[in-house]
C-alpha cells in the first residue's frame, strides 16, 4: 500500500469513527464516507478554493478547560467568526494540519483535549459560496484543543481582523449568521463531553 493510499485509509477510518450526534451529522458522515470511497483527491492543491470542488478541511476550537471559553477568529475573507484551521495539504494527516495551522494562525502549539486526542469530535459537509458560479464543498473535521484563555496568542493578522474568547452562551445569544452554519450544533456536541 502506498503512503497516499494508507493516508486515505486512515482518513476514512477517522471519519467512520466519529460518533454522530444527530441525523444531520449521520448524513455528513455518510456523505464523506461515500466520497472517500470514490476519490483519491481529497486535498486542495492550488490557491483556487474550487479545485478540487470537494476537499478536506481541519477546523479546531481552542477551548479553555476551566472556564469553557471558546476562541473564534474574525476571519477576513469570509467575514465570519470562525474556528481556526485550514485546508489539509497533500499528504498531510488532518491532525498534523491542526498542529501546523495552530502555530501559523495563533502562534501556539496545539494541545489536543486529552479525552479526545488527535481525533475529530465533529464533521460537517458544507457548500461554501453557493451564490457564486464556482461553489465548493468543505468536508470539515472539527478537533478540540485545550488552551487557557488568559495565555496570550499571536494571531495572524493576514488571516484575522481579530480574535475573541466567547462563552458558549454569548455565541448562542448572537446572530447565527455571524458564525459557521454548524457552530450551534458543535456547541451542542461539546456539551456531550461536559464542556
What's the pLDDT tens digit per position in 86-136?
Answer: 989 888 999 999 999 999 999 999 999 999 999 999 999 998 766 666 677
What confidence score (pLDDT) does residue 7 get?
A: 87
Q: How many CA atoms lie within 13 A of 144 on its CB side?
A: 22
H/E element, 95 = helix 94-106
Where residue 164 falls (left for φ over 0; alpha for ψ -120 to 50; beta otherwise) is beta
Nearest alpha carbon to residue 182 among 20, 24, 15: 24
115 is written with which cell numbers? 479525552
What confidence score (pLDDT) does residue 77 get?
A: 86
What confidence score (pLDDT) does residue 46 get?
A: 55
What confidence score (pLDDT) does residue 34 get?
A: 93
**C-beta atoms surrounding 2 within 10 Å:** 8
This prediction's pTM = 0.92
Nearest alpha carbon to residue 69 among 154, 159, 169, 160: 169
Share of the chain above pLDDT 90, in %: 71
Judged against a pLDDT cut of 80, whether residue 194 lies above it is answered with no
Judged against a pLDDT cut of 80, whether residue 151 lies above it is answered with yes
Judged against a pLDDT cut of 70, whether residue 47 lies above it is answered with no
What confidence score (pLDDT) does residue 119 get?
A: 96
Asked if 60 contacts 83 with a C-beta cutoff of 8 angstroms, the reply is: yes
Judged against a pLDDT cut of 70, whether residue 44 lies above it is answered with no
H/E element, 21 = none
How far is it, in rounded angstroms, from Cα 60 to Cα 51?
A: 23
Helix (H, G, I), strand (E, B) or coil at 66: coil
How far is it, in rounded angstroms, from Cα 102 to Cα 146?
A: 12
How far is it, in rounded angstroms, from Cα 170 to Cα 65?
A: 17
Write phi, then psi, for 60 (nearest 5 degrees): -145, 140
Nearest alpha carbon to residue 95 among 75, 121, 63, 67: 121
Look up residue 112 and give its DSSP letter.
B
What confidence score (pLDDT) does residue 193 get?
A: 84
Helix (H, G, I), strand (E, B) or coil at 178: helix
Amino acid at each position: 500500500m502506498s503512503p497516499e493510499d494508507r493516508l486515505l485509509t486512515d482518513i476514512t477510518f477517522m471519519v467512520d469513527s466519529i460518533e454522530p450526534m444527530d441525523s444531520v451529522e449521520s448524513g455528513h458522515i455518510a456523505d464523506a464516507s461515500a466520497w472517500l470511497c470514490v476519490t483519491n483527491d481529497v486535498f486542495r492543491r492550488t490557491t483556487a478554493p474550487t479545485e478540487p470542488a470537494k476537499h478536506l478541511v481541519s477546523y479546531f476550537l481552542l477551548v479553555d478547560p476551566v472556564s469553557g471559553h471558546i476562541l473564534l477568529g474574525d476571519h477576513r475573507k469570509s467575514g465570519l467568526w470562525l474556528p481556526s484551521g485550514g485546508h489539509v495539504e497533500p499528504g498531510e494527516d488532518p491532525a498534523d494540519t491542526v498542529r501546523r495551522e495552530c502555530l501559523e494562525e495563533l502562534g501556539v502549539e496545539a494541545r489536543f483535549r486529552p479525552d479526545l486526542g488527535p481525533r475529530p469530535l465533529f464533521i460537517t459537509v458544507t457548500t461554501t459560496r453557493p451564490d457564486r458560479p464556482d461553489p465548493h464543498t468543505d468536508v470539515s473535521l472539527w478537533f478540540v484543543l485545550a488552551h487557557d484563555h488568559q495565555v496570550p496568542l499571536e494571531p495572524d493578522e493576514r488571516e484575522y481582523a481579530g480574535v475573541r474568547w466567547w462563552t458558549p452562551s454569548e455565541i448562542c445569544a448572537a446572530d447565527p449568521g455571524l458564525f459557521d452554519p454548524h457552530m450551534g450544533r458543535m456547541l451542542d456536541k461539546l456539551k456531550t463531553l461536559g464542556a
